[in-house]
Amino acid sequence: MEQYIVQETLASRSLAASQKGISLACVGKLLAPLLLNVPGLMAVHLYPHLTNTATVFPKLVSDVLPPAIAGFIAAIVFGGALSTFNAGLNSLGTLFVVNLYQPWLEHRHKPFHEKKVVKAGRLFQLLVIIWAVCFSPFIMYFSGGFYNYLQKASSFFSVPVFTIMAVGFVTKRTPPIAAKAGLLFFVVSYVLTQFVFTTSLHYLHVLAILFVITVAGMLLIGRLYPMPRPFQLQTTTTINVQPWKNRYWYFGALLIAMILMFVLFSPLGLAA
């Protein structure tokens, strides 16, 4: 999800518009726990003997809403699933073409044109669809439910990429090899802790520990082998790069709202 949010943001007509768009996306992300967690908390009290957590939302909808509204909700969920799947598929195709296929062709000194690149991207998307169809039935055997699986699976890539971005924001002399080493270490370590070794830690705690270790390792590499020149962002004059005037107020409000959301679902709030 974060990938195609970033893609839409980078396609903005100006820097201020992109900052406003990402702020609006953050508001939507803050509303997600209310849509996902609150029905679960209600189901704990309404259906104490329910074993399959995947049936919580459909059961709530069928028991609470009239049939006409229940059908409307089903159509919304189906449409949201299709739009999310299509957006994610387009993002995967873009990542494959831009970061893997085109650099591979350039490295091999092979000629390529737009039609060839688009065809390769669509073929990759088709392979992803086939893999998803074959793999999806096995999700029902994943302990913790579909949402827990989704969070664990997305953490393989989203948290390592966020770690690299965080280091890139605070330092300008860390070399590219630090990002590559940090990404490789984070992904391999996370796979080992989740599938090879048995740990008593929650996967979110594992992610937090790996985040600190990876950041420290990247900063150490940057200290030992710094770039000869600090990184300078190359800007173009085709778009307006004037930042949003009120960005700090809105970003601060979003951070406060995120903290309050954690408090709401903590033992100090609804979990008390």
Summarised one tens digit per residue, pLDDT across range 58-74 is: 888 888 888 888 888 88
Whole-model pTM: value is 0.67
Q: What is the mean pLDDT of residues 174-194?
A: 90
Q: Calculate what percentage of the chain has a pLDDT beyond 90.
A: 18
| Per-residue pLDDT tens over the stretch 190-231 | 989 888 888 888 888 999 999 999 999 999 999 998 888 887
What pLDDT, on a 0 to 100 scale, did the predictor assign at position 208?
92
**What HEC string does the chain produce?**
CHHHHHHHHHCCCEHHHHHHHHHHHHHHHHHHHHHHHHHHHHHHHHCCCCCCHHHHHHHHHHHHCCHHHHHHHHHHHHHHHHHHHHHHHHHHHHHHHHHHHHHHHHHCCCCCCHHHHHHHHHHHHHHHHHHHHHHHHHHHHCCCHHHHHHHHHHHCCHHHHHHHHHHHHHCCCCCHHHHHHHHHHHHHHHHHHHHHCCCCCCHHHHHHHHHHHHHHHHHHHHHHCCCCCCCCCCCCCCCECCCCCCHHHHHHHHHHHHHHHHHHCCCCCCCC
What pLDDT, on a 0 to 100 scale, did the predictor assign at position 1?
57
